Amino acid sequence: MTEWAQPLCPRCLEPLPAGVDFCPKCQVSLTVKATTDPYQGLLSERFAYREAAENPQKAIVVIGMWLLWGPRLLIGTALEMGFVVASVGALFEILIEDELTIAAVLETVVVFALAAVCLGFGLLVSGKLLYKTTRNYFRRENRSG
């Protein structure tokens, strides 16, 4: 294929090598397989969320992101608080019942730490996405208006 006949990315105009499902430069999905394949679909979804967060063009994008990620953020926060209360309660129970062994304390701390890491990661992702989407939308509004 000659240089002038090479296909270009519809988004960033980067010349595309043959047979790629995603643009090597901007990662936009280029084929049906890129959105329907289970693994590649995840990459496409990630791209769409990132695009929505970094460059929200319309208010409906911001509303959609809040509808999608807002409940995850709320439920995640509630669960995280529940785990903190349950862990503190479990530690007090150990102290009150005079069963203070290193194993009992370690078990409680490890269970709490695992739950906190998993939930904390989810909170970080949804919180960061919502924060970025909202901030970038209003920055854009201020620039144009």
Where does this chain bind Zn ion (CB under 5 A)? 9, 11-12, 14, 23, 25-26
What Rg value do the Cα atoms of the chain yield, rounded? 23
In terms of CB distance, is 16 or 91 closer to Zn ion?
A: 16
Q: The tokens of 140 are what?
A: 């854009």
CB of 78 to Zn ion, least distance (A): 40
Shortest CA distance to 76 belongs to which of 130, 115, 133, 132?
115
Considering the complex, state which of residue 46 and residue 139 has its C-beta at the smaller distance from Zn ion: 46
- Count of beta carbons in the 10 Å neighbourhood of residue 116: 15
CB of 28 to Zn ion, least distance (A): 5
Task: Please name the residue that has the structure tokens 């201020």.
Answer: 142
Nearer to Zn ion, 40 or 87 (CB): 40
| Bridge partner residues of 29 (DSSP) | 22
Q: How far is the CB of 2 from Zn ion (least distance, A)?
A: 21
Q: What gap in Å lies between CA 23 and CA 61, rounded to an integer?
A: 23
User: Closer CB to Zn ion, residue 16 or residue 118?
Assistant: 16
Q: How far apart are CB 47 and Zn ion at their closest, in Å?
A: 10
Q: Which two tokens stand for residue 104?
A: 């009992």
